[in-house]
């Protein structure tokens, strides 16, 4: 009787393992490796070559997205958007929509954002020291392709909007 029980446990365990493996394989396959067009990414990102384009081309109106592994390159990008009142206002509006849940309404970080209490406390973006350390390009890259744990917003926001947000963040720097 004991052996039958152990045998059943093994069978159930093996079935669960196989099922889990199937989910992982299908997840990888369906979610990350299918041919797809990603704005600003190069054609070689589609291994099947279904959408092959001459190397290095970008869609009209698009912009080449620098992956986060090359943050140092992205950090050197100059900010093409003047920090006018209009730009800061757009940045502020987008910030309230996309960033405030984690970074708090004033960018003070910690757990001032509703989501941050359940996620990872965020840094104080108004901190003068941090503001000095980071270039506009660095923060723009953070918004577009994400951070260590911060999600990427390149699909929700245009690169232009990301620059507006950077201009807004500069406007709330502590003196
Ligand atoms: C899901 C929560 C979440 C959202 C939403 C979010 N962030 Fe973050 N952000 C984080 C966390 C956590 C960190 C710190 C850890 C890290 O670097 O990934 C961070 C770090 C940052 C940093 C600091 C980077 C540095 O200099 O080290 C900036 C700037 C930033 N976020 C801007 C934004 C902006 C702008 C938005 C909106 C477009 C946004 N974040 C949306 C969680 C979030």
Tens digits of residue pLDDT in 77-93: 999 999 999 999 999 99
Q: What is the pLDDT of residue 52?
A: 62
98 CB under 6 A from ligand 1? yes
150 CB under 6 A from ligand 1? yes
Q: Calculate the average pLDDT of the chain.
A: 86
Residue range 87-100: mean pLDDT, rounded? 96
Residue closest via CA to ligand 1's atom 10 equals 150
Name residues whose C-beta falls within 8 Å of residue 63's C-beta, 6 or more positions apart in sequence.
40, 159
Q: What is the pLDDT of residue 102?
A: 93
Q: Give the span between the Cα atoms of 65 and 149, in whole angstroms.
A: 19
Ligand 1 pocket mutation pick from 122, 124, 159 by most atoms within 8 angstroms of CB:
122
103 alpha carbon – ligand 1 mean position (Å): 7
Contact call for residues 169 and 90 (beta carbons, < 8 A): no
Q: What is the pLDDT of residue 45?
A: 46
Residue closest via CA to ligand 1's atom 39 equals 99
Name residues whose C-beta falls within 8 Å of residue 149's C-beta, 6 or more positions apart in sequence.
120
């Amino acid at each position: 009787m004991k052996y039958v029980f152990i045998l059943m446990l093994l069978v159930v365990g093996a079935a669960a393992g196989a099922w889990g493996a199937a989910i992982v394989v299908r997840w990888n396959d369906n979610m990350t490796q299918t041919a797809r067009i990603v704005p600003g990414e190069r054609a070689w990102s589609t291994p099947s070559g279904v959408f092959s384009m001459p190397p290095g081309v970008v869609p009209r109106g698009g912009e080449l997205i620098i992956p986060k592994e090359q943050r140092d390159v992205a950090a050197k990008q100059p900010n093409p958007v003047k920090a006018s009142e209009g730009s800061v206002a757009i940045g502020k509006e987008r910030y309230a929509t996309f960033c405030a849940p984690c970074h708090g309404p004033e960018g003070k970080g910690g757990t001032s954002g509703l989501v941050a209490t359940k996620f990872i406390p965020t840094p104080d973006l108004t901190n003068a020291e941090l503001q000095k350390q980071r270039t506009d390009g660095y923060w723009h890259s953070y918004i577009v392709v994400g951070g260590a744990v911060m999600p990427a917003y390149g699909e929700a926001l245009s690169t232009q909007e990301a620059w507006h947000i950077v201009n807004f963040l500069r406007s709330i720097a502590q003196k």
